[in-house]
Structure 1
Amino acid sequence: MFETKYGYFTDDGKEFVITTPKTPKPWINVISNGDYGMIISQSGSGYSWRTHASLNRITRWEQDLIKDEWGKYIYIKDETRGDFWSPSWKPTCKEPQEYEARHGQGYSIFETKYFDIKTNLTMFVSKDDPVEIWKLTIKNTSEKERKLSVYTYLEWNLGAAPDWHREFHKTFIETDFLNDLNCITAEKRMWEIPNEKGQHWNRNWEYTAFHSVNEKVNEFEGSKEKFLGQYGSISNPNALITGEISNTYGKWEDSIASLKNEIILKPGEEKTLIYLLGAVSKKNTNESVSSLVKKYQTVEKVDEEFEKVKDMWREMLSKFIVETPDKALNFMLNNWLKYQAISGRLWGRSAYYQTGGAYGFRDQLQDSQIFLYVDPEQTKNQIKLHAAHQFKDGSVYHWWHPISELGYKNNISDNRLWLPFVVLRFLKETNDLEFLRENIKFLDGGESSLYDHCIRAIHYNLNHMSQRGLPLIGDGDWNDGMNAVGTQGKGESVWLGHFLYGILKDFSVVCKKMGDLANTQRFMDEAEKLKENINKYAWDGEWYVRAFKDNGEPIGSKQNSEGKIFLNAQTWAIINGTATQTRSESAYQSAKKYLFKDYGPLLFQPAFAKPDPEIGYLSRYAAGVRENGGLYTHAGTWAILAAAKMKDPDTYKIYKSFMPIYRGLEPDKYLAEPYVTPGNVDGPDSPYFGRGGWTWYTGSAAWYFIVAVEGIFGLKAEWEGLKIEPLFPEDWKEVKVKRMYRGKQLNITYKKSDEKKIIVNGVKIDGNIIKPELFEESFLEVEVLF
């Protein structure tokens, strides 16, 4: 399905099969179990970590999307002929007789053939253990007996990455070889993060890393210099050329791990080797190198674990399933968007364009909305985690690092508001009002109910308004790149006004439910004042201004030659209803005219050709790139909600315009993976208009899913129940959706009809809101005639 010269989707959309290693950019998979993670590209490169991809990196990797030559590699050498190659292509880059790399949910598989030796390399992370598993099956397809040597190779990082001063960091690493386990271990006597006394450079790395194989090791190597040779390279290492390997380990090397196994294969014979790479915590007595190595010694045990991983993903992702006439939409909603948001953004928090590892206060809160559709309890846990990173005055960390708990606090003005925003979404989805009473600690001492955490966040923003009654932008709002607009404390954010208005209106309902009449009234009053002020000061005649600088000059106005119209200021005026109907129509048509392009809705137009020091770094990007006049996919998704609210019949056409699968049909223009959303696509001011980038680690994955569910399928959780208001393309006659809602499974069938009605378990309901509590059954059969 959707085949190009680089690959295709399998018929069920669960795998993307890459048919050449030379893709336009590295096409990767982010594989994580929520703690341990690894990234693997189609070339076989990548890196591994535990808990935090930057503070607790296990293997070395350098960000270079051109070379893509850092990773954990396998070499196979024919001892008779002297040829050697890598079953995943990198690092030797020999021309394969056959090549296929398959990325799936929780695993990647390389099936290749070189010099008549066929290999299958299956790589995945254990469901629950801090270990990745490589199952390598080698088959002799020639008519001669083959004597082969198989080598692994990886460089230890062990701590914060990148280890930019390698000559310093290597002096703290110590390796060992455990003969009885066929295993190299590695430890580090220095970790860059503070110890329990707050001292830097005075803490052990608190793990033991290990790399093992299930067969008797013939030789091993722990020295990079001895493996590669001085001035040698990973594509042509000295150990492979000479066959010499030194069995070196200890404290005085630039430490690597390489295991060598010798095998002889008769014609048609095959052999399987099982490699492990992991890291056990010295603080956890339930974890040990020995127990993990022994656990995964057999093919049967590895296959059993592989099935557990696939079953976990299958079960989780199947909680929400669609069947539409558009296979591409089915593939994205049923598999890849949920997987990207969970494995890439929430669990791994890392990818090739941004190695990450931290939690962003606003970022992972928004991402956690994906769990509302498959496991709301995990959204609940994410909310609690973020609420615990709030201060008593309502302010929050912009981001923080798990493990060290070091965080960065700034005055970006929208961060704190995402807490009540996501809480509102959770409450409408689950009706779990008791959650609001749960006590959660503050960073600076004391604790209070989740409800109070949300109230403090809202109050903080209400206490930081301009003299005109518009929100102060502070160090930026949703767009961090507008970091200079309010440096003097006077700059105003119009987008934030739209956003805050919606939260005030919605949270006043929560206040009323909680019996908090004072805040109920205050929020309603503040909302109306805010709406009035936005329309008084920010309407520019045909659209809304985006922001005002410290000196009062507008951004996103007809007065501006660059950055004349911004997307978010129009879409959120419509989404949250700050605009009148007339202004909604004008703002939407303006956005459609100037911003909706062939490859999705641009963040603004025209791009900034030169930096504006009174706006910030978004104006310093090259024109048309990322936030400077490109499609910033996260913001682009919100245009779908606005289009749906305006009942635009082109809504699905707009959605499709930046769907990765369709964009991927022009791979040499698009460049990015066709199975996940990119963070950005170059706009028309770039010579590379249509080029995708910053894939995987982007908040657009969850939102691209949500806006399809709410904007296209019209399934929106409200206080009263699940509202159904579809906006399908004209030629769609029948659509099916399986969706969990408030503990019940809804099997929804949409059918095109002259009559508009909704039937639940054979009974026609009044209106278009399903109240699941009215039905005793746990399965609701819903028929929607539209």
Structure 2
Amino acid sequence: KVKTKWADILGSLEIDTPDESMNLLVNKWLRYQAISGRMWGRTAYYQQSGAFGFRDQLQDSLVFLPIDPKLTEKQIRLHAKHQFEDGTVLHWWHPITDTGLPTKMTDDLLWLPFLMIHHYVETGDLSLFDESSEFYDNKKLKTSLYDHCIRAIDKVLSRMSKRGLPLIGAGDWNDGLSAVGLDWKGESIWLAEFLFYILSEFQKISVLKNDFNRSDNLNKAADTLKQAFEKHAWDGEWFFRGTKDSGEKFGSKENKDGKIYLNAQTWSVISGITDDEKQTSAMKAVQKHLIKKNGPLLLYPAYKKPDKFIGYLSRYAAGRRENGGVYMHAATWAIWAFAKLGDAKNAYNVYQKLSPINNGMKPDEYFAEPYVTPGNIEGPDSPQYGRGGWTWYTGSASWLQKVVVDWILGIRASEEGLIIDPCIPKEWKGFTVKRKFRNTNYNISVINDSHVSSGIKKIEVDGVSQESIIIKPTGQKFSNVKVYLG
């Protein structure tokens, strides 16, 4: 039974590319790591916990969407029960006692609508939004999951600065920014980008739910946020990361240490909150300042001494973990950003630098297992530059699989159907993908006789040519797709 179960999980999504190490990671190891280590075990050699992390488990459950979306649904239902009436959530909790840490982290709550959006895009099914769920602090009150999402969004919108940017509180995605906004004055530029993404995507859900007043309000909030972002977030060549309670910028050219942070650049592209020129400039800054031999650093230069107004991030030794190392989870988003810009060379370059198989070719330097992603790789300010650590128990496994399949191979779900939009090395002659989507098993062959990185000359679905790069759901059990690049 165990062998059959894993055969089903690992056989549900298969790729065959000229990069054998990519095939091995995507077809086997990344999925196994994300599911066994993160979803089921919730523990590893570097961290023994067993707790459910709100943002962590929701992101990890992305791995189930192309396999069995019902497994993602279970995670959504579980997490909705750990939301408070006011929209906030537990940062983490232990399953036996069902007790945990109420969070002042300002991004946690938004990952619930993020997952709901992605679940809908994968399945085309809105019914999950109608399901009812209790609240952690009021088990007698049950409202729809749609309402749970709205409460999360509204809570973040209620915590804005006078300039119209989200407050960072005790940290956003980066827990290490633990002292930036404890007085609820510090701002987060990354959170502005993430919030804009949520507002833009969730308003589409509101339209589908015939909740037009809500859709209008979300659109207005997105427009207002975009205006504030465009007015305040640009630092000349890149986006600064945020402001402290004092109003001082960090992640800015004005700083000695921590001049540039990765997430503020990548999510400016992913979210679409700014114009193409600034997106391109921001990612050029990533190339210039952050990409090193093992991938893009989370920030640079590392903090050389603790900054009590930054947080525990600055108390790590320089070059380690979040303080100037490659933080794999965030680094995978650079692949998404480069591919979204159509920059196949840099998207693949980042993948190659992050690949544990490639890094494992230097075992005395890398030190970590070559078949699972690490949480971090030490950066140039560390005496152990290039050493991997915190393997297995990292959110990077699910994300690395997703960005490779969705954005390098370009096979990704959309509301209308399955998008075919590769962004590959021009040297590749082609690749194949087997992927299940809305009850149809697709066998996709991409032919690259023209030796290009992107652009589609012709698509044939079961022998019938079509112009659109979106394959509409066929309703068949199997479907064969041929894609000719050029």
**Shift in Å, 1:771:** 1.0
**Runs of 5+ unmatched residues, structure 2:** 451-455
Whether 1:534 aligns to 2:229 is yes
- AA matched with 2:155: Y
Answer 1 or 2: higher relative contact order, Cα 8 Å, separation at least 6.
2
Determine which of 124, 132, 145 is the counterpart of 1:450.
145
Indicate the residue corresponding to 2:453 in structure 1.
none
Whether 1:384 aligns to 2:114 is no
Counting matched residue pairs gives: 477
**Shift in Å, 1:727:** 0.9
Deviations 1:95-152 (A, max 9, x none): xxxxxxxxxxxxxxxxxxxxxxxxxxxxxxxxxxxxxxxxxxxxxxxxxxxxxxxxxx
Indicate the residue corresponding to 1:358 in structure 2.
51
Indicate the residue corresponding to 1:461 in structure 2.
156
Indicate the residue corresponding to 1:631 in structure 2.
326
Whether 1:742 aligns to 2:438 is yes
CA distance in 1, matches of 2:211, 2:217: 10
- AA matched with 2:116: V
CA distance in 2, matches of 1:485, 1:535: 22
Indicate the residue corresponding to 2:311 in structure 1.
616
CA distance in 2, matches of 1:776, 1:632: 41
Deviations 1:523-576 (A, max 9, x none): 111111111111111100100010100011001000001000000000000011
Indicate the residue corresponding to 1:714 in structure 2.
410
Deviations 1:154-211 (A, max 9, x none): xxxxxxxxxxxxxxxxxxxxxxxxxxxxxxxxxxxxxxxxxxxxxxxxxxxxxxxxxx
Residue 176 of structure 2 aligns to a residue in which SS? coil
Residue 375 of structure 2 aligns to a residue in which SS? strand
Indicate the residue corresponding to 2:365 in structure 1.
669
- AA matched with 2:369: E
**Shift in Å, 1:758:** 1.3
* Greater strand fraction, Structure 1 or Structure 2: 1
Runs of 4+ off more than 4 Å: none
Deviations 1:315-367 (A, max 9, x none): 11100000111110010000000000000000000001001200000000000
- AA matched with 2:69: P
CA distance in 1, matches of 2:228, 2:371: 43
- Bigger shift: residues 432-441 or 712-721: 712-721
Paired residues for 1:363-378 under 5 Å: 363-378=56-71
Whether 1:513 aligns to 2:208 is yes
- AA matched with 1:738: K
CA distance in 2, matches of 1:776, 1:703: 29
CA distance in 2, matches of 1:356, 1:765: 51
Paired residues for 1:94-493 under 5 Å: 308-445=1-138, 446-493=141-188
CA distance in 2, matches of 1:487, 1:723: 43
Determine which of 563, 571, 584 is the counterpart of 2:279.
584
Determine which of 368, 376, 384 is the counterpart of 1:680.
376
Deviations 1:13-55 (A, max 9, x none): xxxxxxxxxxxxxxxxxxxxxxxxxxxxxxxxxxxxxxxxxxx
**2:439–2:475 contact (8 Å) kept in structure 1:** no
Residue 403 of structure 1 aligns to a residue in which SS? coil
Determine which of 237, 241, 244 is the counterpart of 1:546.
241
CA distance in 1, matches of 2:7, 2:255: 51
CA distance in 1, matches of 2:158, 2:371: 43
**Shift in Å, 1:414:** 0.1
Indicate the residue corresponding to 1:766 in structure 2.
467
Whether 1:733 aligns to 2:434 is no
Indicate the residue corresponding to 1:104 in structure 2.
none
**Shift in Å, 1:649:** 3.0
Deviations 1:189-248 (A, max 9, x none): xxxxxxxxxxxxxxxxxxxxxxxxxxxxxxxxxxxxxxxxxxxxxxxxxxxxxxxxxxxx
* Greater helix fraction, Structure 1 or Structure 2: 2
- AA matched with 2:189: V
CA distance in 2, matches of 1:753, 1:384: 46
Whether 1:782 aligns to 2:477 is no
**Shift in Å, 1:766:** 2.5
Deviations 1:478-499 (A, max 9, x none): 0000010001110000000000
Task: Return the TM-score normalized by structure 1.
Answer: 0.60
CA distance in 2, matches of 1:502, 1:721: 20
**Runs of 5+ unmatched residues, structure 1:** 1-307
CA distance in 2, matches of 1:776, 1:374: 17
- AA matched with 1:573: S
- AA matched with 1:734: G
**Shift in Å, 1:765:** 1.8
Determine which of 700, 704, 725 is the counterpart of 2:400.
704
CA distance in 1, matches of 2:243, 2:482: 49
Residue 65 of structure 2 aligns to a residue in which SS? helix
CA distance in 1, matches of 2:414, 2:223: 21
- AA matched with 2:429: K
CA distance in 2, matches of 1:352, 1:315: 27
Task: Return the TM-score normalized by structure 2.
Answer: 0.97
CA distance in 2, matches of 1:647, 1:782: 23
- AA matched with 1:405: D
- AA matched with 2:385: F
- AA matched with 1:544: F
**Shift in Å, 1:776:** 3.8
Deviations 1:412-435 (A, max 9, x none): 000000000011000000011011
CA RMSD of aligned residues (A): 0.9
**2:440–2:475 contact (8 Å) kept in structure 1:** no
CA distance in 2, matches of 1:764, 1:438: 40
Indicate the residue corresponding to 1:221 in structure 2.
none
CA distance in 1, matches of 2:254, 2:73: 45
Deviations 1:366-388 (A, max 9, x none): 00000002111100100000011
CA distance in 1, matches of 2:369, 2:326: 16
**2:344–2:408 contact (8 Å) kept in structure 1:** no
Deviations 1:661-690 (A, max 9, x none): 010010110000000000000000001110
Deviations 1:64-104 (A, max 9, x none): xxxxxxxxxxxxxxxxxxxxxxxxxxxxxxxxxxxxxxxxx
CA distance in 1, matches of 2:44, 2:143: 36
Whether 1:503 aligns to 2:198 is yes
CA distance in 1, matches of 2:440, 2:152: 32
**Shift in Å, 1:395:** 0.6
- AA matched with 1:783: K
CA distance in 2, matches of 1:365, 1:422: 7
CA distance in 1, matches of 2:344, 2:5: 38
Indicate the residue corresponding to 1:602 in structure 2.
297
**2:242–2:251 contact (8 Å) kept in structure 1:** yes
